Amino acid sequence: MTRELPTPLLMFIAHRAAEGSIFTALRDAGFTDVTQAQGRLLAGIDPTGTRLTVLADRAGIAKQTATALVDKLEAAGYVQRVPDPGDGRARLVRLTGRAEAMIPVARAEEQRIEGEWAAHLGPRRMRQLREALTQLREITDPYVGQ
């Protein structure tokens, strides 16, 4: 008899598959020098830039790990460190044009995945899934509303 998987694990499996598809699309588009760990960090950067400590927190990694990932991303030309206009002592990590060129590729793959899931679940169940996950953000996402 197969055990019923817990909901968080089911969500992780779907997330892992989607993330893998997005990274495959990025590699196919020529972005072969970004690891998934680096990509997760890139995804947490706000349009105006984000402090390293916030990136580490969003990615659930140590600040030292985030620093090493940002160092590699900066060396590859995907991010730059700039002064924080709100605090002259702090620095922001900001996307460069090279990183911004990845966004349409990732968004197109996200849309393809959503279409595939909607075709599999049907429009009503897909809408219910999105509504349920959006509601769960209220208790699971410390950055909701920011």
Round the average pLDDT of the chain to a whole number and report it: 94
78: domain CATH number is: 1.10.10.10
**92-117 tens-digit pLDDT:** 999 999 999 999 999 999 999 999 99
Does the pLDDT of residue 15 top 90, yes or no? yes
Strand partners, 83: 91
Is residue 145, in this structure, part of any structural domain at all?
no
Question: Residue 1: pLDDT above 70?
Answer: no
On whether residue 83 sits in a domain, the answer given is: yes
- The β-bridge partners of 87 are 84
| Tens digits of residue pLDDT in 53-69 | 999 998 889 999 999 99
Structural contact between residues 45 and 58, judged by C-beta atoms closer than 8 angstroms: no
Number of structural domains the chain divides into: 1
Range of the domain at 68: 7-140
- 34: in domain: yes
Q: Where are the alpha helices (DSSP H) in the chain?
A: 7-28, 36-43, 52-59, 63-75, 97-100, 102-121, 123-140
